Amino acid sequence: MADHSIPQVRTPQALPEEPVVRTTGAGISRRRLLGTAGATGLVLGAAGGAVGHASAPAAATPLSSVGDNRVPFHVKHQPGITQPLQARGHLIAFDLAPGAGRKEAAALLRRWSDTARRLMAGEPAAQGDTDVARDAGPSSLTLTFGFGHSFFGRTGLQKQRPVSLDPLPDFSSDRLDKARSNGDLWVQIGADDALVAFHALRAVQKDAGSAARVRWQMNGFNRSPGATSHPMTARNLMGQVDGTRNPKPADSDFDQRIFVPEKGEPAWMANGSYAVVRRIRMLLDDWEQLSVTEQEQVIGRRKSDGAPLSGGGETSAMDLEKTDAEGALVVPFNAHARITRPDQNGGAAMLRRPFSYHDGIDSDGVPDAGLLFICWQADPLRGFVPVQRKLDRGDALTPFIRHEASGLFAVPGGAAEGEYVGQALLEG
């Protein structure tokens, strides 16, 4: 749970980055049009007594514009990396079926890419659409696809496997469930509407057909758009402001830290990134026994507004040398926010884009809840690994969390018009 904030890329590129597009006017989707027409009939019926009937088409006033927001599929970097946090998320990993290889994988990625393009535009899937999201707009839906270490052996592409995809080292805080870790293929789904996200999850699973089978699947959530009076950094389930110091696109080295360069190695990963995925259970009963002051000492930031204990506001620079009247460090030596700072880790940086999760309450009354930690970097050996090793050696937060699942995936760049994600790898 490193200490960063979520940016939104705005710089124009040869391929567009990931702007949000309003599907209104001439660009309104068929699904949105149907939903709007239905709403109009009900409104006029209620007002004029003719329930379910409208004498002429009229524009309805939506409750909000959340459903209209659309993220393009054909972009330089795959969608779902630089967008603001989405309200609902699904993570799902697949293993190729016995006997399935490179040919079947290519056909699957072509199907998935076509489905992603359609659903992200607010259109139904090409085959067997379930109608779950018929009445909704795209709701900022994104689908992101990646390859695990084992994928390359299954498809005979070992020579194309990046060095950066080597398995993560073991960490002392790991309590990993292998059945819920790694996988040949990984899909991240995010949206600002739960039904839209589930619709995409179901479509991805159906598209897999006989080529791949589900290895594991996880569900997450974040604060809904508009839930606060103004944009704010998200809070996690510990109640902490979480994401203050994420790298920002305005940083001169943002692309260098997050994305593989266009002439990087291997060539098929140009404009791509690497995703580390960790299911981190929060031991909330233990955490909530601490006083607010004790919690702040663990994190190194005020709980109320996320400001560093050294003073200022949320985005103020943390004074690591400041001491109190007794000479003790104001930000404790083992505070989470101190340990995760890039300038305390040789400049190591990663773009965090997590989801919270809650998978019920155990028989002993303990909530199975925490963070689906997802971080993006150009090279996990220079991003995630050094930071996690340092956390492993003495983070004050460690007694209150447990790493229960892990995965590392190579996420290639975005697909150009007429192409599918991963085509340069599978057909190169």
Q: Which residues are catalytic?
A: 242
Residue with structure tokens 């998320």?
89
Q: Which two tokens stand for residue 210?
A: 């006989």
Whether the CB-CB separation of 356 and 280 falls below 8 Å is answered with no
The rounded distance, in Å, linking the Cα atoms of 214 and 253 is: 37
Please name the residues in contact with 328: beta carbons below 8 A apart, sequence gap of 6 or more.
Answer: none
Residue spans of alpha helices (H) in 143-219: 149-154, 194-208
Residue with structure tokens 């994190």?
299
* H-helix or E-strand spanning residue 360: strand 355-361
Q: What is the DSSP letter of 86?
A: P
Q: Which of 31, 235, 258 is nearest to 138 (CA)?
A: 31
The rounded distance, in Å, linking the Cα atoms of 7 and 82 is: 6
Cα atoms found within 13 Å of the Cα of residue 344, Cβ hemisphere only: 20
Whether the CB-CB separation of 237 and 282 falls below 8 Å is answered with yes
The rounded distance, in Å, linking the Cα atoms of 103 and 45 is: 54
The rounded distance, in Å, linking the Cα atoms of 182 and 167 is: 9
Question: Phi, psi at residue 390, to the nearest 5°?
Answer: -70, -40
The rounded distance, in Å, linking the Cα atoms of 359 and 339 is: 29
Torsion over CA of 272, 375, 174 and 359, rounded to 10 degrees?
-110
